[in-house]
Amino acid sequence: MDLFVKSRGPLGLAHFCQSWGPKFSNFDLFFDTFSNCLIFYKEGYFVIWDQYDSLNNQGKQPFTLNLASIYKQVFACCIHPEKNCLSLQISENTLILLFLKERAAEEIKLTFSKAKMIHAFSFLFGDDFNYFVATNNSIDLYKIKSDKQKAKIVKSISLQINEPQFYYEPMANVVLICDNKGQCHPFFLNMYKQKTHRGKPFQLDTGSIPVDQPSQLDYSQQQPLSISTHASYTSASAAGLPHSSQHQRSSNNTSQASSHSQAHLTTARASFKDRAINFLTAGLLNRFNLAPSINNKNLKPIIQAQSQLHSNNVLDTTIDSNNQNFVKSLSQESKKSQHQLLITQIYNKIMLLHLNPSTFQLHIFELDPGFNYKYQSLINLTPGCLYQMQVIDSLLVIHNIDDKSSQMYDLKLQDYQIPLLESNLDVNFKLAQKGIYVTDMIYAEERQQFEEQVRPFSRDSADGGSMGELGGILDEETPVKVVLDIPVDESQKSVSIDDESRSGSRDEQSKDNDENLKEYDIYEEGNIFVDPLFIISPKNFSCLTLKTQLSRFIRQIPDSCRCILSLLNRMRNKKVFLTHFRDLMITQKLSLIEISKVFLRINSVYKQASIERQSIKKKASTGNNSKLILDNPLMQGHNTDLLFIQQQRLGRLRPNTSSSMNSNINNILLENAPTNRVLSGEVIVFQNELLEIFKELINNSTHPILLPDQQIINRPKSDKIILKPKYITAIIMEFLRTLLENSIPQQPAQQYLLVKYILATKDFQSLHCLLQYHVLADSLELARMLIQIGTKQTLNEHSEPKSGVTLHYEPAFQLGLDMLKKIKRHEDLAMALLGEGQIQRALDVIQENQDFISNSLSFSAFRDQIDKLRFNGQMVKADLVLRRLIEMKKQDENKAKNERGYRKIFD
């Protein structure tokens, strides 16, 4: 096999915005990660492209703005989704706020005279604030009122950090600052009124020696390890110094002198010379080199400098010295020696990903206001290559730029450090070549699987689609189908998308004859990666993103168990998940242990959903319903609503219960969360959906009891019946066990199917064990079934004429009687004893529980049993039973006359 020939992986490259032409080459270029807008600027003229959305008529035409005033240089830019406020950085410490109206624009200048540099600014989803500015000495929160054209400062958080680098996640209102020594300081802006808004600082691994990992890890008990207790963050390692046990001095002295020197190095009172040697050996003379964040930054100097570096390695003289250093740091050669940081939301947690270029190890942190977790296992990468991190559908994607391949990791799995995909896979570029947009792919999946559409929140809806109205155990018989608030084009419901076809429509004016001739390659130099999932391709004048194709995803994961567990966490996945899970069990590609893991995960998600909905319902009943941000005029409008929907579809905006718990937007997301998923993102699988899979397994076994008799007789001989009864019984029993482990009530149809199949296979031993250890829930139907196969009449009534085999298991009769007594069905217990000729025991049951018998018994049935006794010659016994029966009959009639509301025992 040619190692240089790559196979297309499950990641498909698609357009995010409409492409632009060469006429925009001289424009300044910005990408706003909050509003998902692409901004072009030149001499007072703005052209703004939204995310392309054909169904909502968004992104087909740009928003244009022509200002009378011209700004000579714009360092960074961001815009609100409603296009009513534009923010520009025109100098190192000056910002401009433009309030836009129909034919006018009002300007407010924000000057930070005490600050050396403005490092970051963006609009946010906040309660008391909707905009933040980060300088080298403070983080300022503002409340902008577009109708009054005012910007009021709400909070100023002072900073004292040397040479800070700023990273932020606008969807979670979290800012991370990293200093020149690799120490990180998280800030949770939603909690600015509390002391916990300053998260606990922690130290990154800046050393050049790889952190040792245990050779054998017990993943079943693996938990995220607190950073304060991690072995690599103590004393010398935290400062970048090698551990004393790993440091050895090379010399030709005697062994005694060498050992003495070794012991001397391990002491805390080392000489100045030894400490200097350690300092130089660790490479601390080189400063901590950190890749800068480019959110909202001007990308034009980067694009020009990269093209010049690629051609003649000479920078444009028009670029100032500061920008030259910034641009040089973005070249591929410089990136290989830079530490990369990516802060984003993965599932419902705020995560920080750190790639160390010296050790080629990726460290994972979970950020929370009260603590910081460092995941125990590290992701080891191939040394010597250039890597780029992205997060697609809550999956960590690592692009090997040199090898031109991509790999995926699911942090929800216990063995998350193991790659998901096969090696030597690249990205499917043909989708972008055909002009497909990411919204086309999302809408195609939603049309194919209507019940998996994500219900975004609506300003006007407080109806029954919210999670808060479903409390307790979920109703699996009628799972809720949620409806999108946006219109769906009925004429396009039959349109589907695969690897080579295109779904949806594109604006005809944007089509060119040369569109299919464009070559897209995210691995080539010149592309700009914008966190967390965007790619700017200056060569093709395109803004792109990646989308997971589930059909390829399930084919290119070698481990079937990890594939199905990861598939459970994907969006719009239920149909694919159930189909693939069924196929894996039918083909026996999953062992019973692996199937048990999947069942345990499914039922734990089901239990989690029940707990979440009970808490949300309790919160709603207290009247503490969050109101939409009515006191925040900047957060109102159709485009903002649509942005919420789009960010949910992309997996960037999800409710969480930690850092955003005090925000209105998070409460709205909680109350209007999809009813078919838990907050962490996993799909809810109901018992009746798995019941259908169990039926298909049974139909593919040696005892297809659910197929009609005629279909079984006429079944083609070519069909290979490969599933054995023990295999299917073990699968269903394991599912019932995981239900009990999670305290989930069994659906009666589940155990009825299991018992019916056990009886068909005549595995009475398994049935007895299930009943003895209370795996099967007590029910009237099961008790009647046990009595039926345990009675003596079964020998005559349930014989199979073709084979002459009788379905009879005598101990089942007593098991059925015990079950009827537990569920207090005394009349059924008496009639069962009567049917076996045990009339005395039947009368004892009636006499002892006459106050609890709800249905009248047939007196003639008892007389028939007495006649049978006389027919068999038991005259004395028949007379005794008859006198007792008549006496009980008289007492029953007297009570019926004297007591109001008394129900007669005998009819």
Task: Give the model's pLDDT for residue 311.
Answer: 61
- What average pLDDT score do residues 274-302 get? 70
Return all residues near 646 (Cβ < 8 A) that are at least 6 apart: 36, 51, 53, 439
Q: Residue 792 falls within a domain, yes or no?
A: no
Where is the domain boundary, 160, 192, 224?
192
Residues in the chain: 907
Where is the domain boundary, 164, 192, 220?
192
451/891: higher pLDDT: 891
737-779 pLDDT, tens digit each: 999 899 998 888 888 888 888 888 888 888 888 888 888 888 8
Question: Which two tokens mark 362?
Answer: 């990726």
Both 46 and 180 in one domain: the answer is yes
- What average pLDDT score do residues 641-645 get? 85
Q: Residue 117 falls within a domain, yes or no?
A: yes
Task: Give the model's pLDDT for residue 668.
Answer: 76
Q: Residue 504 falls within a domain, yes or no?
A: no
Other beta carbons within 10 angstroms of residue 166's beta carbon come to 23
Lowest mean pLDDT: which of 38-47, 249-258, 725-734, 876-885?
249-258
Compute the distance between CA of residue 362 and CA of residue 356 in angstroms, rounded to an integer: 6
Return all residues near 345 (Cβ < 8 A) that are at least 6 apart: 169, 171, 172, 351, 652, 653, 654, 656
Question: Which two tokens mark 762?
Answer: 């005549």
Compute the distance between CA of residue 455 and CA of residue 262 in angstroms, rounded to an integer: 64
Sequential DSSP letters for 681-730:
SPBP--HHHHHHHHHHHHHTBS--TTS-HHHHHT--TT----B-HHHHHH
The residue segments making up the domain with residue 613 are: 560-620+665-682+719-743
- What average pLDDT score do residues 489-500 get? 39
Q: 574-586 and 560-567 are packed helices; what angle lies between their axes, rounded to 10 degrees?
A: 160
**HSE of 155, CA atoms in CB hemisphere, 13 A:** 21
pLDDT at 223 over 70: no
Both 534 and 673 in one domain: the answer is no
Number of alpha helices (DSSP H) and beta strands (DSSP E) in the chain: 26, 30
Both 38 and 166 in one domain: the answer is yes
Q: Residue 14 falls within a domain, yes or no?
A: no
3/288: higher pLDDT: 288
116-128 pLDDT, tens digit each: 999 999 999 888 8
Sequential DSSP letters for 357-423:
TTTTEEEEEEE-SS-EEE-SS-EE--TT--EEEEEETTEEEEEETTTTEEEEE-TTSTTTTS-SSPS
Other beta carbons within 10 angstroms of residue 381's beta carbon come to 19
Mean pLDDT of the chain: 78
Return all residues near 768 (Cβ < 8 A) that are at least 6 apart: 811, 815
CATH of the domain at 115: 2.130.10.10
- b/e burial code for range 535-550 (CB count within 10 A of at least 16 → b): bbbbebbbbbbbbbbb
Q: Are 167 and 176 in contact (CB under 8 A)?
A: yes
Both 112 and 137 in one domain: the answer is yes
Q: Could you give the number of structural domains in the chain?
A: 3
Return all residues near 129 (Cβ < 8 A) that are at least 6 apart: 141, 142, 143, 154, 155, 189, 192
Report the candidate in 425, 411, 338, 327 with the shortest Cα–Cα distance to residue 377: 411
820-833 pLDDT, tens digit each: 999 888 888 998 99
Q: What SS3 state is found at 172?
A: coil
Lowest mean pLDDT: which of 440-454, 675-689, 889-903?
440-454
Report the candidate in 654, 710, 713 with the shortest Cα–Cα distance to residue 682: 654
Where is the domain boundary, 139, 167, 192?
192
Q: 592-621 and 560-567 are packed helices; what angle lies between their axes, rounded to 10 degrees?
A: 10
pLDDT at 793 over 70: no
158/320: higher pLDDT: 158
Residue type, 212: D
Strands 534-537, 528-530: pairing kind: antiparallel
Q: In degrees rounded to 5, what are phi and psi of residue 132?
A: -135, 150
Q: Are 861 and 828 in contact (CB under 8 A)?
A: no
Distance of CA 616 to the CA centre of its chain: 19
Both 583 and 669 in one domain: the answer is yes
Q: Residue 43 falls within a domain, yes or no?
A: yes
Q: What SS3 state is found at 256?
A: helix
Look-up: residue for tokens 């995926």?
408
Task: Give the model's pLDDT for residue 559.
Answer: 93
Compute the distance between CA of residue 311 and CA of residue 307 in angstroms, rounded to an integer: 6
pLDDT at 543 over 50: yes
* Burial class (CB within 10 angstroms; exposed 0-12, middle 13-18, buried 19+) of 364: buried
Compute the distance between CA of residue 826 and CA of residue 819 in angstroms, rounded to an integer: 11
pLDDT at 263 over 50: no
Lowest mean pLDDT: which of 623-637, 662-676, 816-830?
623-637
Compute the distance between CA of residue 589 and CA of residue 647 in angstroms, rounded to an integer: 36
692-744 pLDDT, tens digit each: 999 999 988 888 876 554 454 445 444 555 889 899 999 998 999 999 899 99
Distance of CA 281 to the CA centre of its chain: 43
pLDDT at 390 over 90: yes
Q: Residue 161 falls within a domain, yes or no?
A: yes
Both 98 and 73 in one domain: the answer is yes
Compute the distance between CA of residue 54 and CA of residue 14 in angstroms, rounded to an integer: 14
pLDDT at 170 over 80: yes
Both 583 and 534 in one domain: the answer is no
Task: Give the model's pLDDT for residue 356.
Answer: 94
Question: Which two tokens mark 876?
Answer: 């004395």
pLDDT at 207 over 70: yes
875-888 pLDDT, tens digit each: 998 899 899 989 98
First to last CA, the chain: 84
pLDDT at 233 over 50: no
Question: Which two tokens mark 673?
Answer: 């969360």
Lowest mean pLDDT: which of 7-16, 40-49, 307-316?
307-316
Both 136 and 63 in one domain: the answer is yes
Both 566 and 540 in one domain: the answer is no
- What average pLDDT score do residues 254-282 get? 43
Question: Which two tokens mark 17?
Answer: 């915005």
Return all residues near 491 (Cβ < 8 A) that are at least 6 apart: none
Q: Residue 99 falls within a domain, yes or no?
A: yes
The residues pairing with 122 across neighbouring beta strands, listed in sequence order, are: 132
Look-up: residue for tokens 């932020």?
168
Look-up: residue for tokens 């168990």?
561
Q: Residue 835 falls within a domain, yes or no?
A: no
Q: Are 697 and 723 in contact (CB under 8 A)?
A: yes
Characterise 165 by phi-psi region: left (phi > 0), alpha (psi -120 to 50), beta (else): beta
Question: Which two tokens mark 395?
Answer: 């999956």
Task: Give the model's pLDDT for residue 322.
Answer: 53
Handedness of CA 576, 582, 583, 589 (dihedral sign): positive
Task: Give the model's pLDDT for residue 333.
Answer: 67
Helix (H) or strand (E) holding 48: strand 45-49
Both 566 and 592 in one domain: the answer is yes
Report the candidate in 673, 169, 694 with the shortest Cα–Cα distance to residue 458: 673
The residues pairing with 354 across neighbouring beta strands, listed in sequence order, are: 341, 363
Sequential DSSP letters for 491-530:
GGTT----SS---S---GGG--TTGGG----TTSTT-EEE
pLDDT at 500 over 70: no
Both 529 and 575 in one domain: the answer is no
